[in-house]
Amino acid sequence: MQRSIIAPAERVTNLRWGIALILGFGVLVNYIDRSALSVAQKPLHADLGLGPAEFGLLSGAFFWIYALAQIPIGIALDRFGVKTLSRIGAFLWSCASVLTAIAPNFAAIFAARSFLGVAEAPTFPANAKAVGYWFPRNERGLATSLFDAAAKLSSGIGVLFAGYLLLRFGWRGMFWCTAVLSFVFFLLFYAFYRNPSEDKRLTHAEAEFIRAGGGEPETPTAERGSGAHLLYLASQPKVWGLTIGFTAYDYLFALLLTWLPGYLTTTFGVNILSAGFDALLVWGTATISDLVVGGWLVDFLIQRGADANRVRKTVLIVGLIIGFAVIGAAYTKDIHVALFWITLATAGIAFHAPVAWSIPGLIAPRNSTGKVGGIMNLFGNLSGFFAPTITGLIVASTGSFNAALITAALILVVGIAAYVWLLGRIEQIPEPA
């Protein structure tokens, strides 16, 4: 780790955990932006005449451009760094919410949601890269889970919060409020986030603690962009094992993120606030699972001497297996039974996710974490585009969510196979010759 400015105190402080909390708050705001649309299905139908198929397309609008932006964003991250791209992205989140609030028709909302996808594209690859800079390897599970769990928590409180704003201010006022919240995060990130080499608060002792524990070194400006080529990374089975497994996870996650309130209100006839409280139960449980299993437990076992590869691979695979529980919701007409199965499935995929997001920093060759994270998130969010879109078409044609839930569960089988046979040991890919 290159150090140009270091605080003189010779003790290992907890500055790195403050950085992790900033990243987590950004994801919290990020997912409130994303999930706000999910509560607006009925008013959009009333105001603009949008049916399930059109709403499915709107729900997927974010994901297709977000996905396509991932590889360019990964390259840009490896070249320009976390701070610059994350600042730009956070500012543009606010602009996207404003554009949604003033949109007059379906096409304008589709364009605004697509723009939000571009603006939020750097978030997860940048956070993964920042965690690599700021944390030793044996603390990355919890550090990653702090920002990944924020996505789950936001999916719960975001629906409830957005539902309140919707009832209080209407759907347009709701998006004005999310624009303000996004701008607040931009100001906080601009004021408080620095890379380790630039942060005057970082002590010599903490910097050495991070470096000795395998913290990813910051690449000097002159060498940025000199990491492994995309074609080399695309030829690596480890990259595809990670990517396919994560894509399977993201299909179910995106389905639940975009359609859970609509599923509850349509299938069981509850109102949007009741659906919001139910969603809070589901995503609140997922948040705890993410932090406790995917974060704390993984780090605890590794720090106690367990084989790091075995721990991480087990959590990845078991998490997706538990995700099969979503099938149970397709075979009940009792909302409480359905919520039990959905909550169990979501808890499983939730503790899988921070482990998956820690892997780019563990397997990528030097100065290539952004690219590996970009490849992974490209395909994951293409899946995220297809999940709400296909779900909307299924619901429009069958009047039921059953086939959509079963489809998502079966896709998890492919992800498990990829983790078992393609990912292999979680270790660094050799540098290209």
Lowest mean pLDDT among 40-44, 200-204, 224-228, 304-308: 224-228
Confidence of residue 222 (pLDDT cuts 50, 70, 90): very low
280's tokens = 């809070």
User: Which residues, listed in sequence order, are joined to residue 7 by a DSSP beta bridge?
Assistant: 203
Is residue 316 within 8 A of residue 197, CB to CB? The reply is no
In a domain, 413, yes or no: yes
In a domain, 282, yes or no: yes
In a domain, 335, yes or no: yes
Per residue, what are the HEC states of 203-245?
EHHHHHHHHHCCCCCCCCHHHCCCCCCHHHHHCCHHHHHHHHH
Tell me the chain's radius of gyration from C-alpha atoms. Answer: 21
Query: How far apart (Å, rounded) are the C-alpha atoms in residues 132 and 307?
Result: 20
The rounded percent of the chain whose pLDDT value lies above 90 is 37
Structural domain count, the chain: 1
310 contacts: CB under 8 Å, gap ≥ 6: none
Q: What is the DSSP string of 150-179?
A: HHHHHHHHHHHHHHHHHHHHHHHHHHHHHH
Confidence of residue 220 (pLDDT cuts 50, 70, 90): low
Q: pLDDT tens-digit profile of 238-287?
A: 999 999 999 999 999 989 987 888 889 888 988 877 887 888 899 899 99
In a domain, 172, yes or no: yes
Q: Would you report the helix, strand and coil content of the chain in percent, each value rounded to 5?
A: 80, 0, 20
In a domain, 429, yes or no: no
Say which DSSP state 292 is in.
Answer: I
- Mean pLDDT of all residues in 6-12: 59
Ramachandran class of 429: left when φ > 0, alpha when ψ lies in -120 to 50, beta otherwise: beta
The residue count of the chain comes to 433
Provide the sign of the torsion angle of the four alpha carbons 32, 171, 119, 260, taken in this order.
positive
CA 266 to centroid of chain Cα atoms: 27
Residue type (1 letter), 410: L
The pTM for the full model equals 0.79
Q: pLDDT tens-digit profile of 40-76?
A: 777 877 777 677 777 777 777 777 788 888 888 888 8
Q: pLDDT tens-digit profile of 155-204?
A: 778 777 888 888 888 878 888 898 999 999 999 999 999 888 888 888 88
Examine the pLDDT at 34 and tell me if it is beyond 80.
Answer: no
Nearest one of 88, 61, 85, 83 to 74, comparing CA atoms: 85
Domain CATH for 34: 1.20.1250.20
Cβ-based burial of 53 (10 A; exposed 0-12, middle 13-18, buried ≥19): middle
User: Which residues, listed in sequence order, are joined to residue 203 by a DSSP beta bridge?
Assistant: 7
In a domain, 398, yes or no: yes
Examine the pLDDT at 223 and tell me if it is beyond 70.
Answer: no
Average pLDDT, the chain: 86
Coil, helix or strand at residue 77: helix
pLDDT of residue 388: 82
Q: Could you identify the residue written with the tokens 């974010």?
A: 62
Confidence of residue 102 (pLDDT cuts 50, 70, 90): confident
Examine the pLDDT at 224 and tell me if it is beyond 60.
Answer: no
Q: Which residue has the higher pLDDT, 385 or 357?
A: 357
Nearest 10 degrees: CA dihedral of 410, 411, 414, 419?
Answer: -110
Is residue 233 within 8 A of residue 239, CB to CB? The reply is yes
Q: Which domain holds residue 313?
A: 15-218+226-423
Q: pLDDT tens-digit profile of 326-366?
A: 999 999 999 999 999 999 999 999 999 999 988 998 898 88
Cβ-based burial of 327 (10 A; exposed 0-12, middle 13-18, buried ≥19): middle
Lowest mean pLDDT among 37-46, 103-112, 420-429: 37-46
In a domain, 113, yes or no: yes
pLDDT of residue 17: 93
In a domain, 19, yes or no: yes
Nearest one of 207, 217, 213, 206 to 137, comparing CA atoms: 213
Examine the pLDDT at 4 and tell me if it is beyond 50.
Answer: no
